[in-house]
Amino acid sequence: MYITGAGRTKFGVLPQTMPELAYEAMNSAIDDANADVRDIGAIFVSNFIGGPLNGQLHLNSLVASLLPGTNVPIVRVETACASSSTALRQAIFALDHYDMVMVLGVEKMNSRPIIGITEAIAMASDRQLDQASGMIFPASYALIAQQYMRRYGIGHEVLEQVSLINHQNSRSNPLAHFYYKDVTLETIRKSPVVATPLNLFDCSPISDGAVALVLSRKRRSPRDIRILSSQYSTDTLSPSQRRDMTSFAATKIAAHLAYQEAGIRPEDVDLAEVHDCFTISELVALDDLGFSEPGRAPELIMDGQVLRDGSIPVNMDGGLKADGHPIGATGLAQLYELMIQLRNEADVRQVSDARIGLAQNIGGIGGTAAVTLLGRD
């Protein structure tokens, strides 16, 4: 199985409507695959909060409206921030029946005042155990940061470096939410506190955007990238029901299954896209994915091993932190970056001789975790 075409929009606070963003990404992916829309046997649509923020559900039929005369099966998939990776896995299953399918992730988040957006995002948490206590996502990840920092004896300066590196990476990505913003260490340190110890620059932005991938059962072009594995696992919705908040069991399980299916080890991965919705989640991801022993991820950050010329380059596009986080499209954006890296088309942010890439996509606070491995033939 291969990804044969990829297309995405810019991420940020955008003037386009959700249908316009979806159309742009789909059209770009079909062109990139050198295919015709009539070649697509089925479409899987990833979207998290089109209902509460845009008043628009039934997105499968909306997508059909954008592709007149295309009466193929179209399904909407939702697993919070991991929606698009879950949609990808469903699309892979569909390749048993179709030669070519499409996965679309789209989100128009900047359509309501911030309170409404916050309330909508909180729907991905446990209404009784978390929402009723005011545990919105920044507060939950702040608790994770407190426990990680206390357990492993690190300070906020590590999180500051995570933020700085990702913002520096985004300056090489013209499609990134923060492409035009020069963020310094002083800017990060002086930003207002959101939930102790996290400040504004520890948090990913609220982004609009769309990404589409065209999958094929067989290789169609030398630019096609093989899907080595796509795995996901689930956990309790509320972190209060878990023994350890410094690790996501679902990530560890999905990673183990993915490595096993692909027949590789963590040290075989040439670059990674991890779900850094908050800076602390990048540290947790590096540990859980096996790139570091528990609590040793800060060493990878401070020693520069996550940079483009390091042992495990991470989030070359800027990650969720600086590339942006349009929830329904985020997981596909990670795969888009891996695609252009493995095709050797990433320009100034190209990782040398990249052959295997990993994407980790989280839904909620580790309630869903997807790990995808791509490889260059």
State the pLDDT at residue 377.
86
* Total number of domains constituting the chain: 1
Q: Which residues contact 97 (CB under 8 A, 6 or more apart)?
A: 41, 42
For 172, the token pair is 């090489």
Enumerate the active-site residues: 81, 325
304: left (phi over 0), alpha (psi -120 to 50) or beta: left
Residue 99 lies in a domain: yes
Percent of the chain whose predicted confidence (pLDDT) is above 70: 100
Residue 222 lies in a domain: no
Percent of the chain whose predicted confidence (pLDDT) is above 90: 90
State the pLDDT at residue 240.
87
Residue 334 lies in a domain: no
State the pLDDT at residue 285.
98
Query: Rounded to the nearest 5 degrees, what angle is found at the Cα of 82, between the Cα atoms of 72 and 219?
Result: 50
Residue 238 lies in a domain: no
Domain boundaries, position 29: 2-113+207-216
Provide the CATH number for the domain around residue 63: 3.40.47.10
Residue 152 lies in a domain: no
pLDDT over 90 at 348, yes or no? yes
State the pLDDT at residue 70.
81
Residue 280 lies in a domain: no
Residue 199 lies in a domain: no
Residue 65 lies in a domain: yes
For residue 7, the one-letter residue type is G
pLDDT digits (tens, 9 = 90+) for 79-97: 999 999 999 999 999 999 9
Query: 162 by DSSP, 3-state: which?
Result: helix
State the pLDDT at residue 134.
84
pLDDT over 90 at 133, yes or no? no
